[in-house]
Structure 1
Amino acid sequence: MSMVKQSIDVDVPLRMAYNQWTQFEEFPRFMEGVEDVRQLDDQHCHWRTKVAGVEREFDTEIVDQLPDERISWRTVGGDVKQKGVVTFQPLDEAHTRVSLAMDFEPEGMPEKMGDALGVVDRRVKGDLKRFKGFIEESGESRGWRGRISPTDAQGGGMPSGGQAGMTPTDAPIRETPGPGMRGSTGRTLPPDPDDMRHG
């Protein structure tokens, strides 16, 4: 396995940066080589990528998601082997550090050569730079703020750059109004306790 770690500071509040990252189907707008991401359910996405002329399709599973702190994932099935975690750290009320750590297994000679030459590292750095431009220009985004814990996924785990050992808060929080509504990614949003009290 190879590892890549990159961070970037974005000029938006923590909540805004986190919310945008939960909109997985928008990843092709700032991730190089990502052709399409389709949300299957709260924990799973189907990806279609094209890198150096090689097309791949694979599924990912979220193994740990804590609002405003981290999202970790791994691939499930197929030939693509990777796992990663993105973390969010508030620098002040208007700035956030987004850090990405990813373990991956290069497949075939082109990918192994690209890994040796630092191609993946530069691509991830470029993706984060494009994310910065995207979120700073697009403004507020609704996000899915439910909690997924490692016990929700079978045999979870995260790369060594992850934030293991953090204490989770299990209460799901929702950004989009209306209990049980579905977000733009098709996720079912948990009811808002405030909505329950007022009606």
Structure 2
Amino acid sequence: MSTKVEKRIVVDVPAGTAYSQWTRFEEFPHFMAGVDSVTRVGNDRLKWVAHIAGVRREWDAKILEQIPARRVAWAALEGVTNSGAVDFKDAGGNRTELALTLEYKPAGVVERVGDLLHVVGRQAEHDLKQFKEFVERQDRSTSARGPADSSSGWRQDYRFEHPFDQTNGLVDLEGESGGTADGENYSAAERRQREEHSRGLPPTPGGSDVMGF
């Protein structure tokens, strides 16, 4: 006698995102309690290792159907007897309804007791809730990263507009010096005083010779 479990949940991500995450089979242990590992061993083959009702089980499964953003179905080939499917339905507003169907045939007294206590059903419901939290968290993390924030670690590089201006604009740069280094060290008034001084003329009233000449 087999047990059939049907559970539904709505996740706050688009159908394509939910489908993409579910088909990363190797990540099942992140949200499926009791699943130790799932390894893809071919295009349509999976190797499962899990603990069911406290008993360690290993089995190979075949992916029977895989329709992007719509449906995934699988069935065990040997070992335990189980099969399952997940249908993805657009729920509007970038939300998706997942419908999980599991069929499981208990093996042994311990698993029959577990079946009577609806262990499989409770576990399926728990795993769907865990999947909801996992896929929504992954989606938020991906969205938050977005493009690189240019303000992070930002600093301004000051570049002088004139090759001789090492005073960041504190000297006159109107082009009266002819582009010489000596001329760029003085203001226009100071240059006139230096020229008058060199010709023996008296200083211009109100001027000052800040360089001590």
Is the TM-score greater than 0.5?
Answer: yes
Q: Is the 8 Å Cα contact of residues 87 and 100 (structure 2) preserved in structure 1?
A: yes
Report the Cα offset of residue 54 of structure 1.
Answer: 1.1
Distance, in Å, in 2 between the alignment partners of 1:100 and 1:47 is 18
- Report which of the two has the higher share of helix: 2
| Secondary structure, counterpart of 1:68 in structure 2 | coil
Distance, in Å, in 2 between the alignment partners of 1:98 and 1:40 is 26
- Give a deviation string over 1:140-194, Cα, whole Å, max 9, x none: 89xxxxxxxxxxxxxxxxxxxxxxxxxxxxxxxxxxxxxxxxxxxxxxxxxxxxx
Count of residue pairs brought into register by the alignment? 141
| Secondary structure, counterpart of 1:115 in structure 2 | helix
Match of 2:130 in 1: 130
| Secondary structure, counterpart of 1:77 in structure 2 | coil
Which residues of 2 match residues 50-199 of structure 1 at below 5 A?
A: 50-78=51-79, 80-139=80-139
Q: What amino acid sits opposite 1:49 in the alignment? A: A
Report the Cα offset of residue 111 of structure 1.
Answer: 0.8
Q: Is the 8 Å Cα contact of residues 35 and 49 (structure 1) preserved in structure 2?
A: yes
Q: Is the 8 Å Cα contact of residues 7 and 98 (structure 1) preserved in structure 2?
A: yes
Distance, in Å, in 2 between the alignment partners of 1:27 and 1:118 is 21
Report the Cα offset of residue 60 of structure 1.
Answer: 0.6
After superposition, the CA RMSD in angstroms is 1.6
Q: Is the 8 Å Cα contact of residues 14 and 93 (structure 1) preserved in structure 2?
A: no
The question of 1:28 aligning with 2:23 is answered no
Distance, in Å, in 2 between the alignment partners of 1:30 and 1:115 is 21
Q: Is the 8 Å Cα contact of residues 89 and 96 (structure 1) preserved in structure 2?
A: yes
Distance, in Å, in 2 between the alignment partners of 1:14 and 1:65 is 14
Q: Is the 8 Å Cα contact of residues 63 and 73 (structure 2) preserved in structure 1?
A: yes
Q: What amino acid sits opposite 2:59 in the alignment? A: F
Q: Is the 8 Å Cα contact of residues 16 and 140 (structure 1) preserved in structure 2?
A: no
The question of 1:8 aligning with 2:46 is answered no
- Give a deviation string over 1:68-125, Cα, whole Å, max 9, x none: 11011100022x0011111000001410001100111001111111111111100000
Query: What residue ranges of structure 1 are gaps of 5+ in the alignment?
Result: 142-199
Match of 2:44 in 1: 43
Report the Cα offset of residue 38 of structure 1.
Answer: 0.5
Q: What amino acid sits opposite 2:13 in the alignment? A: V
Distance, in Å, in 1 between the alignment partners of 2:91 and 2:72 is 19
Report the Cα offset of residue 42 of structure 1.
Answer: 1.5
Runs of 4+ residues deviating >3 angstroms? none
Match of 1:188 in 2: none
**Greater Rg, structure 1 or structure 2?**
2
Q: What amino acid sits opposite 1:36 in the alignment? A: S
TM-score by length of 2: 0.64
Distance, in Å, in 2 between the alignment partners of 1:3 and 1:39 is 25
Report the Cα offset of residue 41 of structure 1.
Answer: 1.3
TM-score by length of 1: 0.68
What percent of counterpart residues are identical? 41
Residues 140 and 26 of structure 1: CA distance in aligned 2, closer, same or farther (over 3 Å): farther
Q: Which has the higher contact order (CA 8 A, sep 6+)?
A: 1
